[in-house]
Amino acid sequence: METKKNSSIARPVLSQALNNTTLWIGHFRPHAQDNLAGQTFICPSDGLVDNIQVFASAVTHPGEVSLTLHEFDTDSKTWGRAIGSSQRMVEQNDGTHWLRFELDPVSLQKDTTYGFRLQTEDGIIGIGEAASVNRHPFTFGHAWNGHSDNDKGEYFRYFSLAFKVELCA
């Protein structure tokens, strides 16, 4: 993970680009629920977020993917209401590429915890994820996965999605 100071041009201020495993989202038949994925993160600086990027390690079945951005309560592990959202179509050839989710600018505060959630009802998409080495947890946030019938989900400090958060001052 690397952090950078923000400027007036949008650029990644929080980036975790390691990718050594995959977390799948989508609807796997014959199951009744959709698999969801997400990531929490502590914002390293004040600024406006206008996009979040995630790495698609594979696309088994194309579909529309939704990203929602939330404030996150780390004590109770609960997602606040969505403060931003974006949808984009993910195609077969998007596998092994960064997926950019454009957002209407949302103000984020330094040292506040946020999280984003990803879901698709019609696709099967592999999201790049890193498993930490030597049992060293990620300190900036937790990977999350859940199901459409259990959105409480589970949090993992030894895993992180491959993602980039871009801010501008």
Residues 4-42 have pLDDT tens digits of: 444 457 677 888 999 999 999 998 877 778 899 999 999
Q: 3-state DSSP call for residue 94?
A: helix
| Residue ranges, the chain, pLDDT below 70 | 1-8, 10, 169
Nearest to 25 by CA among 159, 133, 161, 137: 161
Tokens of 63: 């579909």
- Cβ neighbors of 46 (< 8 A, separation 6 or more) are 6, 107, 108, 109, 110, 169
Can you read off the two tokens belonging to residue 28?
């796997």
Measured CA to CA, the distance from residue 22 to residue 108 in angstroms comes to 28
Q: What is the pLDDT of residue 150?
A: 74
Across the chain, how many H-helices and E-strands are there? 0, 14
Determine the pLDDT at residue 6.
42
**What's the CATH number for 13-168?**
2.60.120
Burial class (CB in 10 A: 0-12, 13-18, 19+), 9: exposed
Helix (H) or strand (E) holding 106: strand 97-108
Give residue 27's pLDDT.
Answer: 84
pTM of the model: 0.90
The predicted pLDDT at position 8 comes to 59
